[in-house]
Amino acid sequence: MTQNRNFTDELRSVAAHIWEADIKHPFVRGIADGSLPTEKFKFYLIQDYLFLLDYSRVFAHGVIKAHDEPTMAMFSQLLNETLNTEMDLHRGYCEKFGISAAEMEAASMAPTTHAYTRHLLNVAEIGTLAELIAGVLPCQWGYAEIGTTLAKAGGSPEPLYQEWIDMYASAEFLSLGASLRGLLNTLTQEYSVAQKARIKDYFLTSSRYEYLFWEMAYTQEAWKI
């Protein structure tokens, strides 16, 4: 079966206005030019740690929903890379900002972190494998796009922010997103218009949450009551 190669391009096109807003967000621009206040970035790192815990749980659902051994292996790799490799790097990175493991574990989710992770876990629970991929792809693909865009533009003058750019512009990270896109294209080859519409809805919702995550970190969002 040939891949439906244009479907993920179609998803990217539908969400283009959101992804363009991501790259222009003052949080992302602050990483690029080194002007982002450290306290805002520390807030982001703690919330991202909490996010990644549930993001790993979504990949575990992918292993369960997988229909063949290679797909199970792919999601097992994504789970391992996120839960162990990425989160180990994350913890080490947080130490450089003076954030202890105990501080991260004791933190509470900000409203947007809570809402975004509940959205992803809901998709993982009730959705198809393709819908699950559509839910996680804006994060996996979006970070790779931001990382490569900032790297190509010259990176950041702030060494610790440059480390963040290097992580998400790495060939290893880019390959994970490419694998998910390839699988989604294959899975949706025979999908109906209605089925593809649901995929687009999940993809757009997660794309919107990606933007809100930057906004949450920049404003250091807290519960109002």
Tokens of 157: 């003058």
State the maximum Cα–Cα separation within the chain, in Å, rounded to a whole number.
53
Which of 75, 104, 74 minimizes the C-alpha distance to 92? 104
Angle made by CA atoms 100, 50, 137, in degrees to the nearest 5: 135
Tell me the catalytic residues.
Answer: 139, 210
Rounded to whole angstroms, how far apart are CA atoms 153 and 43?
25
Task: Supply angle C-alpha 200, 23, 138, rounded to 5.
Answer: 30
The C-alpha atoms of residue 201 and residue 135 are separated, in whole angstroms, by 9
Which of 27, 5, 10, 50 minimizes the C-alpha distance to 214?
27
